[in-house]
Amino acid sequence: MKRHRLKALLSHAVLATGAVVVAFPFLWMIMTALKSEAEARGTPRLLPSGAPWQWHWGNFARAWHEMEPSFATCFLNTFLVSVLVTAAVVVTSLLAGYAFARINFVGRRALFVVFLATMMVPFEVVLVPNFMLVTAMKQALRDAMTGLLGQGALPTANTLGAFGALIVPWSANVFSIFLVTQFFRQMPQDYYDAAVLDGCGHWQFVWRIGAPMVMPALVTAGLFSFLGSWNSLLWPLVVNTPDEAPVLQVALSYMVREEREGFNLLMAASTFTVLPVVFLYLAAQRRFIEGVTGTGLKG
């Protein structure tokens, strides 16, 4: 009994230490956001001087309204791109996962292996080819819109091309397809047989029966996609100019590089960047854990 308690105590101590190590940078970020610029650049200390009601809560409003490029615009752009990418990944993963798991077609196994093999290719290897394809896509869109609507449509074409460059290349994800495929494979054959007897086709089964049953996998795929799009820096930095659909991570990188704002405002902006992801994870935590662990279970 004592040995069991000692083991449990040791486990809790290790977990608590890990939690403190992980949470401390976020606590430091929030506390720095509440300091004055001079105090943020001064001697390192966790808490700002003065009582909580004397802290610089206005730094959050300044970061939202006064920073350049407009932080509010970057936030909305990032949110829009992340939502659209997430929706696209969920739909493509659902359809592709069902096809790989339940539809017998020529070359299914070989194609699935090729899909999985692409996960081993580093992003940097395909960065230049993807950039060339997206640049050609943006130019084709500009030519088409200006040819039909005149030069007045050029700003709209540039905006649509910039958003398309951030969305289209990431509208499908191999890991998400693999995850959903495994969930479909674990579903008992009885569900499919009963659906066929009731007159269900592939489309009806996917949307009415399959989607609710693989919801943990879809939530997991959506969370990973949203997080990846929300935190994306290299791709937006390469494919778009600072004036074309600026996103949060690019704006933060410019703030750090040019040092136009104080550390306190930078930390306030970083807090705004982190909070949506934290709230989203807390809201979908149960489904996320089910999705991550479910691929190891047999139906």
Dump pLDDT digits (tens) for 55-109: 888 888 888 887 777 888 889 999 999 999 999 999 999 999 999 988 888 888 9
- The per-residue pLDDT for 261 is 65
Output the CA angle 139-155-246, nearest 5 degrees: 90
Tokens, residue 273: 């960047």
**Which 8-state DSSP code applies to residue 48?**
P
Nearest-angstrom CA–CA distance, 112 and 8:
43
CA distance to 182, 187, 294, per residue, from 191 (Å): 16, 7, 18
- The per-residue pLDDT for 136 is 93
Name the more confident of 44 and 20: 20
How confident is residue 298, by pLDDT bands cut at 50, 70 and 90?
very low
Domain boundaries, the chain: 59-294
Report the candidate in 287, 281, 269, 283 with the shortest Cα–Cα distance to residue 227.
Answer: 281
Nearest-angstrom CA–CA distance, 250 and 69:
10
Name the more confident of 142 and 287: 142
* Mean confidence (pLDDT) of the chain: 85
Contact 287/219 with Cβ under 8 angstroms? Answer: yes
Tokens, residue 197: 């007897």
Tokens, residue 71: 């932080």
Q: What is the rounded average pLDDT of the residues 179-193?
A: 87
CA distance to 97, 98, 277, 299, per residue, from 176 (Å): 8, 12, 19, 19
pTM of the model: 0.84
Cβ of 30: how many Cβ atoms within 10 Å?
16
Cβ of 280: how many Cβ atoms within 10 Å?
18
- Look up the CATH architecture of domain 59-294: Orthogonal Bundle (1.10)
Nearest-angstrom CA–CA distance, 233 and 242:
12
Name the more confident of 160 and 40: 160
Strand, helix or coil at 215? Answer: helix
Name the more confident of 16 and 71: 16
Does residue 164 surpass a pLDDT of 70? yes
Query: How does pLDDT run across 232-278, given as a tens digit for each residue?
Result: 999 999 998 877 888 888 888 887 776 666 788 888 888 988 988 88
Query: How does pLDDT run across 113-141, given as a tens digit for each residue?
Result: 998 999 888 888 889 999 999 999 999 99
Does a cis peptide bond (omega within 30 degrees of 0) precede residue 69? yes
